[in-house]
């Protein structure tokens, strides 16, 4: 049974959320929306976050979760992280799930061991919005395997080079194109930077 001391200790260790929840969430949402509208372009999420949060997780990933998830969107964490789970529950009310296929949002802390795309919910033709959104932490957004992106929101093509994501993930993702409009929306996050790769974007390995 949890005691009053346990509760105080838990709250003392809780990582703070946005300094100004309404303003910061709105600012972050605009950036995240623009990132999906302009795939392959790096954007910066410049809202104020606790120093402890930024030491633990990419600021862009934590801010995105504070902005996008709520009580109706289960979250899957690739790696066990009680501090992050506690912060998500407290600040957003979102439930945590142990089943990736049940998640509306997934945080991938280790891109090298990113599960196959079909591990997650792809939505249905009737409700494609029921698919999962992946927040993938990468060590850098350039310097890795060159990828050429094309499709809606991109004039001709754009190249990115995220570090750490295995080729097989992109091959498996390409195989899902036949299931459109089902699919996955992805955000690559590194520090405060975020790059959107929506399901409508074609990704070719160079």
Confirm whether 10 is domain-assigned. no
- Residue 12 inside a domain? The answer is no
Phi, psi of 186 (to 5 degrees): -125, 145
pTM: 0.93
Pairing of strands 42-44, 193-197: antiparallel
Residue 99 domain-assigned (yes or no): yes
Whether residue 119 lies inside any domain: the answer is yes
Reported as a single tens digit per residue, the pLDDT across 122-181 is: 999 999 999 999 999 999 999 999 999 999 999 999 999 999 999 999 999 999 988 999
Strands across the sheet with 105-108, in order?
42-44, 193-197, 185-190, 133-137, 105-108, 75-77
Query: Within a domain: residue 36?
Result: yes
Count of domains forming the chain: 1
Report the CATH number at residue 78: 3.40.50.11310
Mean pLDDT, to the nearest integer, of 79-102? Answer: 97
Element (DSSP H or E) covering residue 203: strand 202-205
pLDDT in tens, 18-28: 999 999 999 99
Domain residue limits at 154: 20-205
Look at residues 164, 152, 153 and name the one whose alpha carbon lies nearest to residue 114: 164
> Does residue 9 fall inside a structural domain?
no
């Amino acid at each position: 049974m949890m005691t009053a001391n346990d509760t105080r200790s838990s709250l003392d260790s809780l990582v703070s959320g946005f300094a100004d929840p309404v303003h910061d969430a709105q600012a972050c949402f605009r950036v995240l929306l623009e990132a999906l509208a302009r795939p392959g372009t790096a954007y910066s999420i410049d809202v104020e976050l606790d120093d402890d949060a930024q030491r633990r997780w990419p600021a862009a990933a934590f801010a995105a979760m504070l902005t996008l998830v709520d009580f109706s969107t289960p979250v899957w964490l690739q790696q066990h992280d009680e501090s992050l789970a506690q912060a998500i529950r407290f600040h957003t009310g979102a439930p945590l799930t142990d089943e990736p296929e049940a998640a509306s949002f997934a945080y991938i802390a280790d891109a090298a061991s990113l599960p196959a795309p079909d591990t997650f919910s792809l939505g249905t033709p009737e409700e494609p919005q029921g698919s999962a959104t992946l927040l993938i932490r990468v060590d850098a957004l350039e310097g890795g395997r060159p990828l050429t992106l094309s499709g809606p929101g991109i004039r001709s093509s754009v190249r990115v080079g995220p570090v750490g994501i295995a080729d097989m993930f992109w091959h498996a993702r390409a195989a899902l194109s036949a299931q459109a409009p089902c699919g996955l929306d992805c955000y690559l996050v590194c520090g405060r930077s975020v790059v959107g790769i929506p399901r409508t974007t074609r990704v070719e390995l160079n």
